[in-house]
Amino acid sequence: MLETELYAPVKALFESMGYTVKGEIGDCDVMGIRGEEIIAIELKLHLNLDVIVQAALRQKVADKVYIAVPSPKRDALKRWQNVSHLLRRLEIGLITIKTSGANITFDAVPFNRPMSVRRSNKLKDKLITEFNGRHGDNNTGGTKGKNVTVYREQAILIATLMEKYGSLKLCDIVAMTGNTKSASILRNNYYLWFSCEKKGVYHLTEKGLLELSEYHDLASLLINEVE
C-alpha cells in the first residue's frame, strides 16, 4: 500500500460522519471540518515516532488529531499495543486501513489516568513484590544479561545449599529455605542447575556449580540468612 492510497478511505470515513474533508491543508495531511470542530489526520505507512510528533504538533490547531496507518501484521501486534497506549496518553486517535476501508481503532478523547492505574494494579503489585523481595541491587539498569531476580535468588540459595551439603531431599530444601516454591524451581529447572537423583532427591549439576561461582557474595548473604 502506498501512502497516497491511504487518503481515499480516510476521506470516505469522515465524510460519512458529516465532515467536509480536504487533503494537504498547510502542514496537515488531511483536514476535516464539521460545524466548528476541526480534525487533522496524519497519513503514514508505519506507526513511528516521527508521525507521533507530527500528530502532537497538529494538536495546536485541531480539536481532534488522528494517525492513519495500514493495519499491523501479526508479528507486530505487541509493539502496536505499546504504541497505542502512548497515543491514548497523548489523546491522539488511531485509524487503521485495510483494503475494505478505514476504521477508527480508538478515538481522540481525554485520557483517563485513574482508570488506567486501576487496571494496572496487579502489575504494580507484582513489581513491588519483586522490588522488596530482592537482596540489594545486583543488576545494572538497561542490561539484558543474567539479571538477578527474586526467582534467580531462590535458585541461587538452593544451589548454594547443595554445594555445601551435597544431594538433598525436597522436604529438607523446603524446610531450610522456608520457600514452598522450591519444588517448582527444581521441577522446572529453568537454569539447568539441578538434577533429580531419585524421587524427591536432587543434586547440583556441573553447570549449576560453575554458574554459582558468579554469585559468590550474594550466595553467602542468602545462606547466612537461613542458617
Question: What's the per-residue H, E or C state across 35-52?
Answer: CCEEEEEEECCCCCHHHH
pLDDT tens-digit map of 125-140: 888 888 888 888 887 7
All domains in the chain, ordered by first residue: 3-112 (3.40.1350.10), 150-226 (1.10.10.10)
Q: What is the pLDDT of residue 142?
A: 55
Predicted confidence at residue 75, as pLDDT, reads 63
Query: What local confidence, expressed as pLDDT, does residue 76 receive?
Result: 67
- CA–chain centroid gap for 67, Å, is 22
Q: How far apart are CA 133 and CA 183, in angstroms?
A: 19
Cα distances from 201 to residues 186, 192, 208, 215, 227, in angstroms, run 10, 16, 16, 24, 21
What would the pLDDT profile of 74-90 be if each residue is shown by its tens digit?
A: 766 778 888 889 999 99
* Residues of the chain below pLDDT 70: 1, 75-76, 141-145
pLDDT score recorded for residue 124: 85
Q: Which residues contact 117 (CB under 8 A, 6 or more apart)?
A: 124
DSSP structural state of residue 208: H
